[in-house]
Amino acid sequence: MTPKTAVTPKIAQTVLENCMCLRVQRASRVVGRMFDDAFRPLGLNNFQFSLLMLLNRPISPTIGGLAADLSMELTAAGRTLLAECMSRWQAANASARAILDKRNLQSFYSDLDHIAESSS
């Protein structure tokens, strides 16, 4: 099966210049690497830190509410590790936030939240 229209270099350039997904993914990889670097000495990556943070609740999450958490528990060792992560998280988060000034940062967060909420 052949495509009806070939993707010309001009079309490819237009996509590269205007693709929201590409820009969000590229920025996400950069920010993710910043947090991975921060957590690496503790043996974690940014996804694992986020998962620990999601599980760090005074009331255990329901299976339906957090099925994606893989039925994991936040053990005493997990809570200790999470506490060790906090100074590293603060430094990485401050570095990422410093890229945008305060006005642009709040607008950026608001725009990302708006996109995420529109899908539900």
Write the CATH number for 72: 1.10.10.10
Q: What is the mean pLDDT of the chain?
A: 81
In a domain, 19, yes or no: yes
| Structural domain harbouring 83 | 10-118
Report yes or no on 105 lying in a domain.
Answer: yes
DSSP secondary structure letter of residue 61 = P
The residue-averaged pLDDT of 91-112 equals 86
Confidence of residue 1 (pLDDT cuts 50, 70, 90): low
| CA distance linking residue 61 with residue 56, whole number of Å | 9
DSSP, residue by residue, 65-88: TTGGGTT----HHHHHHHHHHHHH
- 32 within domain boundaries: yes
39 domain residue, yes or no: yes
Total tally of structural domains belonging to the chain: 1
Residue 109's pLDDT band, with cuts at 50, 70 and 90, is confident
> Could you tell me what percent of the chain has a pLDDT over 70?
83
Rounded to an integer, the average pLDDT of 63-73 is 54
3 in a structural domain: no
